[in-house]
Structure 1
Amino acid sequence: MLQGGVVRVQGDEFWHMTKVLRLRANDRVELFNGKGSLIQGLIQSVDRSGLDFVALEDPKLVLPQNTQWHVFAGFGTLKGGRADWLVEKCTELGASSLTPLLTERSPTISENRVDRLQRVNMAAAKQCQRLHEMIMNPPVKVDGLLALVAQSKLAFLATAEATPLVSALTSSGWESSGLIVVGPEGDFTEKEVSDLMEAGAISVGLGPHRLRVETATVALLATLMLWSDSQKACHS
């Protein structure tokens, strides 16, 4: 959509803009499509079924960040909103993608739940003004992950009593993308850990305490995002 173009906003976005944000005609807003395109404009009119947004300038294209971290976590069995929290924080921290990992101890995740988590993802992206949406991938089994680990130059596997993450980072070269792998409640089986490490995953520890799935995922992702930023500054 170019400057002067008008788009009709309806459904959930219309409800959020008018009922939650209480926006009205002539209010200035920004629209983004989750692919890096950002448009400045204003609300031209509002009626019962939707609103009309008019662009005040041509869209801007914002390039994605240089470092791409792809998260694979066994969160299919998490209860009580814990999976929602994990998805929300991965979105806020800047993960490029999040994939439910199906393991022997977390073998399923319902399709309805994946749809809900996608809605959580989009809501978090709007809240933190993230222009490039985090991709929610379909679930993958550990066997299906092994080839991706083998192809990746950096793949970190969270395991108990492994080399501390910060120590492992001091001996790792900087790469523009990598994988983060976190097991389910009850952890991976010995065979799953062995298979992942044989494929090339680097086993890393996250401190002396046993962490929940969502805590371990966020701790690992946050540390790697900060490390990536510092390495990017050194290489620029």
Structure 2
Amino acid sequence: MTEPLFYSEQLAEPGATLLLTGDEARHAAAARRLHDGDTLWLFDGHGGTARATLLRTTARGQTLELRIEERRTEPPRRPTLHLACALPKGDRQQVLLDMATQLGMTRFTPLLCARSVVKPGANSPARWRKICLEACKQSRRLYLPAIEAASTAPDVTRRATAEGSLVWLAHPAVQAVSVTAAINERVNDVTLLVGPEGGFTEAEIEQAVAAGARSLTLGVSILRIETAAVALVAAFALNAGSGS
């Protein structure tokens, strides 16, 4: 799949026509300069992908008429990776979400922590979704991460453990296990908790551990939020991909 990849919420069956509109159509017509007869790929964010032929461009590039040539579904990768993370400042949010999506993050929950400096705004979920969507297209990830409502570390832990997820809390406690040991536990679902740069409070840690979280350490260095988050997602994703 080397041809350009675009997002379409719905995919048609082979032989049917489909209209691509909005930002994706404008990007295809202008930025990628596609022409009638060109081949492109679509994905629906849920593992579905389709190869399509561009039949014609209408309304000054606002709509692309496509014929679906083939369609398939890629199964989700395991383990699923739910990143629940305090928000860094400014553009560092984009770096975090972009990189984590490329590596295979499947869900994102912004954490509300006692020492949080940044809190999500009303337009944040839509902006985050757009960042994740662009990262999916760039890395050809067919699953768009779900953006969850903001929550606390203990509440995320309670919900995750109830769903059967193994929850790791990034905190250099005495009893914390290393990343190497953590990634070798073979499970289908992993939740990663990353706190603010001031760290989780003792109360937050105690409540999350009581709810089922386990402490994990990234070593002696004090990392930025996005560095710790991306490092953890990478470790779990790449280990899963190695088949070890």
1:37-186 mapped onto 2 (5 Å cutoff): 37-47=48-58, 48=60, 49-57=62-70, 59-75=71-87, 78-106=88-116, 108-151=119-162, 152=164, 154-160=166-172, 162=174, 163=176, 165-166=178-179, 168-169=181-182, 173-186=185-198
134-143 or 35-44: bigger deviation: 134-143
Report deviation, 1:155.
1.2
Once residues 57 and 159 of structure 2 are traced to their aligned partners in structure 1, the CA distance between those partners, rounded to angstroms, is: 48
Q: Over aligned residue pairs, what C-alpha RMSD do you find? A: 1.9
TM-score by length of 2: 0.86
1:138-181 Cα shifts (integer Å, max 9, x gaps): 111234223125434521111135535235338x6311111100
The alignment covers a number of residue pairs equal to: 228
Partner SS, residue 207 of structure 1: coil
Once residues 36 and 10 of structure 1 are traced to their aligned partners in structure 2, the CA distance between those partners, rounded to angstroms, is: 21
* 1:192 aligned partner: 204
Once residues 149 and 46 of structure 1 are traced to their aligned partners in structure 2, the CA distance between those partners, rounded to angstroms, is: 45
Report deviation, 1:197.
1.4
139-148 or 208-217: bigger deviation: 139-148
Report deviation, 1:224.
1.4
Once residues 46 and 101 of structure 2 are traced to their aligned partners in structure 1, the CA distance between those partners, rounded to angstroms, is: 14
Is residue 5–residue 54 contact of structure 1 (8 Å, CA) maintained in 2?
A: yes
Distance 1:150 1:23, change over 3 A: same
Partner SS, residue 25 of structure 2: helix
For residue 207 of structure 1, the aligned residue among 208, 219, 230 is 219
Distance 1:199 1:65, change over 3 A: same
Partner SS, residue 99 of structure 1: strand
Letter in 1 for 2:149: P
Letter in 2 for 1:6: T
Structure with a larger share of its residues in helix: 1
Once residues 149 and 165 of structure 2 are traced to their aligned partners in structure 1, the CA distance between those partners, rounded to angstroms, is: 23
For residue 27 of structure 1, the aligned residue among 11, 17, 38 is 38
1:48-80 Cα shifts (integer Å, max 9, x gaps): 1321111123x21211113111110011xx223
Unaligned residue ranges in structure 2 (runs of 5+): 1-11
Unaligned residue ranges in structure 1 (runs of 5+): none
139-148 or 124-133: bigger deviation: 139-148
Once residues 29 and 14 of structure 1 are traced to their aligned partners in structure 2, the CA distance between those partners, rounded to angstroms, is: 12
Is residue 69–residue 178 contact of structure 1 (8 Å, CA) maintained in 2?
A: yes
